[in-house]
Amino acid sequence: MNRTAHRAPAEEQSPARSRTPLAEVVGADLRVPLVQGGSVRYANLDHAASTPALRAVADHLAEITPYYSSTHRGAGYASQVTTALYEGARATAARFAGARPDDVVVFTRNTTDSLNLLAGCVPEGGRVLVLDTEHHANLLPWRARGHSALPAAPTLAGPVEALERELAGRPAALLAVAGASNVTGEVLPVDELVRIAHRHGARVVVDAAQLAPHRPFGLASSGADYLVFSGHKTYAPYGAGVLVGRRDWLDAAPPHLAGGGAVREVTGSSVRWADAPERHEAGSPNVLGAVALARACEVLTGLFPAAEAREAELRAQLVAGLERVPGARAHRLWPDSRDAIGVVAFDVAGHDSGLVAAYLSAEHGIGVRDGRFCAHPAVARLGLPRAGAVRASFGLGSCPADVDRLLDALALLVERGPSARYELVAGRHVPVPDPRPLPTWLPVGIAAVARPCV
């Protein structure tokens, strides 16, 4: 391939290919070392896995951390402030989710924790339906509770028709569906799925781990019954997630964890549990995580229209550019899908996805994800090998220059292969030798903690 079709892979790009980020994120100026020497600005194209912290979030936490104390039961001034912050975060999360007045907000660790919590709340004997293209977090929690997976259809209209047939033939208590695929970014017709489910008496939980950082979604406006998402994917990587939805199942279910804060009264032989949300928030809560998530929700709400337009541009730029790289191919689950967030899965013929990701990092300072993305059935549906694919995903700090760097690097890979030698170490491709210096405060080497990306 003629490299003149792409810009040079250096970090400096012409002003025409740069654009001011939509929001400032922590680490935007991070420089990472390269195996060939020198350093380069880190091009983070791995937002679908975890997002950096918004500067507004980090600054807010720095402001409130001196007040950090116990919640709910402390009489001290700092404790009262902390309690107000925590309950205020709950109200903000409800607004972000477009919740109904009687919906409950439960803070959790992440989306996986939220879905496992809800799985324990499905009424006894209630069947749960999922698409087999879901992330493992929305596949595995239901398996012990009457799980039924609808096989992926060759078109997006297929799952809609299959759901109608399935529910007409056999009732279900709950449909669990992702708002957007974590593999390909394709957005599902959630409103239509909700209407079908409700027509047959089933509730719906929307896994918005991928959707929430990119698009607004309303429980009340969509009719969905529950919504879950994670702080670490919504620019608040401080260990909090959220479950928002209808109260009755949450009040009737056993506590997610048994412990202090989840009770009304305890005797030597009995326990009277609190109602939700306290019922499922035993122990001291992650106040800073909840507050960080809420602050991120506030910022995102004001950025959604611009963010959607920017991501559409970046996605179109990447997909079109991949078509010009020999052997590169972007993947879609459904050829008739018309909407997608800023997530693109691709492979390069003849090049292992793990090696491609390692090469992009070591020789170009680009962060992507590789493997099967904790969605093995979805990746199998794409006809990919066990090595999976490479995934590039955009965020608020992404710009056209980042896409240019990725395309340039892939063009060089196809033309001449990697410059460094790579070996498998603990299931990961790593350059050998690897002269890149590590931060002095890092307790162990990178290879020592590496493991296969699944």
User: What's the token pair of residue 379?
Assistant: 């990746």
138 φ/ψ angles, rounded to the nearest 5 degrees: -110, 15
For residues 204, 207, 210 and 216, what is the CA-based torsion angle, rounded to 10 degrees? 40
291, 64 in Cβ contact below 8 A? Answer: yes
Sign of CA dihedral 377, 378, 381, 387: negative
Catalytic pick among 121, 297, 374, 453 = 374
DSSP 142: G
**DSSP track, 233-273:** GTT--SS-EEEEE-HHHHHHSPPSS-STTSEEEE-SS-EEE
Whether 453 sits among the annotated catalytic residues: the reply is no
Q: Is 86 helix (H, G, I), strand (E, B) or coil?
A: helix
| Residue among 397, 52, 391 at smallest CA distance from 233 | 52
Name the residue type at position 82: T
For 101, counting Cβ atoms within 10 Å of its Cβ (0-12 exposed, 13-18 middle, 19+ buried), the class is exposed
Residue in this structure with the two tokens 């033309």, named with its chain if needed = 415
Question: Which contacts of 164-171 are long-range, i.e. CB under 8 A and separated by 24 or more positions?
Answer: 164/196, 166/129, 167/129, 167/196, 167/197, 167/199, 167/200, 167/202, 168/200, 170/127, 171/127, 171/200, 171/201, 171/202
| Residue 194: its H or E element | helix 190-199
In 1-11, which positions are buried (b, 16+ CB within 10 angstroms) versus exposed (e)? eeeeebbebeb
Q: What Rg do the C-alpha atoms of the chain give, in angstroms?
A: 23
Return the closest-CA partner of residue 17 out of 7, 5, 30, 29.
7
How distant is the alpha carbon of residue 158 from its chain centre? 25
Instruction: Report the SS3 class of residue 161.
Output: helix
Quickly list DSSP for 386-427. TT-EEEEE--TT--HHHHHHHHHHHHHHHHH--SS-EEEETT
**Separation between Cα atoms, residue 95 and residue 286, nearest integer Å:** 20
Active site residues: 374
